[in-house]
Amino acid sequence: MFSGKSTELIRRIHRYQHAKLECLVVKYLFDTRHSEEMLSTHDKVFVEAMPVQTLTEVRPFLNEYDVIGIDEGQFYPDLVEFCQDAATMGKVVVVAALDATFERKAFDKVVELIPTADKVIKLNAICSSCGQDAAFTRRLVADKTLEVRTMH
């Protein structure tokens, strides 16, 4: 969190849009922080996004797009299969995701995707307490579930 994953995803999507490629951004259905149909960054940068619970919901639209951007990839149970199928179809797939939980346990689908990726970039946040690089997330609430739903 706060490492710039969504910001980097949006930056990459904008690059492809400037190249005149058709882009679709997908956001996790339960991420309703600022908007239900817009992906937003902590800096309040917005881009239109399709809210879905599984990537299977995106499959009917794949032929319409050249590039698929996926935010919060760690929450999709079908992440690996979808990305591999889309890449086989010639699509560019960009995934922004956490690779581990606040307990430092791997998000299996994200880790499974790494060997098939053309490029992997790991971003670090900045610790709000000490100012050093923060490679891991920290849970600030008592809830131990991996998916904490917040609505603003």
Share of the chain above pLDDT 70, in %: 82
In the predicted structure, residue 149 carries a pLDDT above the cut 50: no
Asked if residue 23 lies in contact with residue 17, where contact means CB atoms within 8 angstroms, the answer is: yes
CATH 3.40.50.880 fits 5-134, yes or no: no
Distance CA 80, CA 2 (A): 24
2: left (phi over 0), alpha (psi -120 to 50) or beta: left
Q: What is the dihedral of CA 70, 72, 75, 78, to 10 degrees?
A: 10
Instruction: Determine which one of 37, 72, 103, 112 is catalytic.
Output: 72
Question: Is 57 among the residues known to form the active site?
Answer: no
pLDDT per position as a tens digit, 93-147: 999 998 888 888 989 999 999 998 888 888 888 887 888 887 776 656 556 565 4
